[in-house]
Amino acid sequence: MKCWTVTKNEEALRRPTEMRMLRHILQVSLKDIIRNEVIRSRCGIKNKVEKVQEARLRWFGHVLRRQDEEPCRMAWTLSVEGDRGRGRAHQSWSDDIKEDLEEKEIAKRDVVDRFRWRSATKAADPRTVWD
């Protein structure tokens, strides 16, 4: 979960499953015609896509705060030699990170301040809402 890219197709498959579970928890039928956003707000959680984004950014912050000699940090700066195959390149983890940072309007330099990074990347979590 920390460093694989989630495709649009995978996101599209997860949304209905997530909503089915949330509706079951709240004992709400599809016939009740309640919007997904209302269901999520009643449960106090964000959608799964945002939770995956949060986990990805949390791991990214961890990697950038590590020493340069650490394996995870070396993997981040690793460049792979050789030719790639034909066609469009697959979405990489670093591409996802760039999109996430732009969407959340966060700079990479904010990583050093853990409190600021955590508050900027945090999505709602049911464990903290009902505690």
Pick the closest to residue 52 from 19, 98, 95, 14 (CA basis).
14
**What average pLDDT does range 103-112 have in this prediction?**
83
Domain that holds residue 65: 47-76+92-126
120 falls within a domain: yes
Q: Would you say residue 14 lies in a domain?
A: no
> Is 105 a domain residue?
yes
Question: Considering its fold, how many domains does the chain have in total?
Answer: 1
Q: Is the pTM of this model over 0.75?
A: no
Give tens-digit pLDDT for 40-96: 888 888 777 778 888 888 888 888 888 888 887 777 777 778 887 888 877 777 888
Residue 111 lies in a domain: yes
For residue 98, pLDDT beyond 80: yes
